[in-house]
Structure 1
Amino acid sequence: MTDEKVKLIPLQPEDREQFILDNQEAFNYGALEEFGRRDEHFEEEGEIISRETIKQSIEGGEAYRIMLGDVKAGGVVIKTDGDRGDLDLLFVSPHIHSRGVGYAAWCEIEKLHPEVRIWETVTPYFETRNIHFYVNKCGFHIVEFYNAHHPDPNAPGTGEDTPSGDGFFRFEKVIGQ
Structure 2
Amino acid sequence: MTLTFAEAGEQDIPDLTRVMTRAFDDESRTYRGLDKGGPEGYDNGDFFRQWMLGYDETTGYTILLDGEVVGGLIVWIIPGGHNHLGAIFVDPAVQDRGIGTQAWQFVERTYPGAKSWRLETPAWSLKNHAFYERKCGFTKIDETDSPDGVMFVYRKIIHPD
TM-score, with length taken from structure 1: 0.79
Q: What is the match of residue 18 of structure 2?
A: 21
Q: What is the match of residue 116 of structure 2?
A: 118
**Coordinate RMSD, CA, aligned:** 1.7
Q: What is the match of residue 174 of structure 1?
A: 157
Q: What is the match of residue 158 of structure 1?
A: none
1:7: Cα distance to partner? 2.0
Are the counterparts in 1 of residues 3 and 64 from structure 2 also a CA contact under 8 Å? yes
Deviation track 1:15-69 (CA, whole Å, cap 9, x = no partner) reads 21221222122111101111223x7xxxxxx442222334211123101001122
| Structure 1: segments with no counterpart, 5+ residues | 40-45, 148-154, 156-161
Q: What is the match of residue 106 of structure 2?
A: 108
Q: Aligned residue pairs: how many? A: 152
AA matched with 2:120: V
1:176: Cα distance to partner? 4.5
1:77: Cα distance to partner? 0.5
Q: Between Structure 1 and Structure 2, which shows a larger proportion of strand residues?
A: 2
Rounded Cα–Cα distance in structure 1 between residues aligned with 2:157 and 2:98 = 22
* Deviates most, 53-62 or 28-37: 53-62
1:13: Cα distance to partner? 2.6
Identity of aligned residues (%): 23
Rounded Cα–Cα distance in structure 1 between residues aligned with 2:37 and 2:17 = 11
Rounded Cα–Cα distance in structure 2 between residues aligned with 1:104 and 1:12 = 21
Rounded Cα–Cα distance in structure 2 between residues aligned with 1:19 and 1:137 = 23
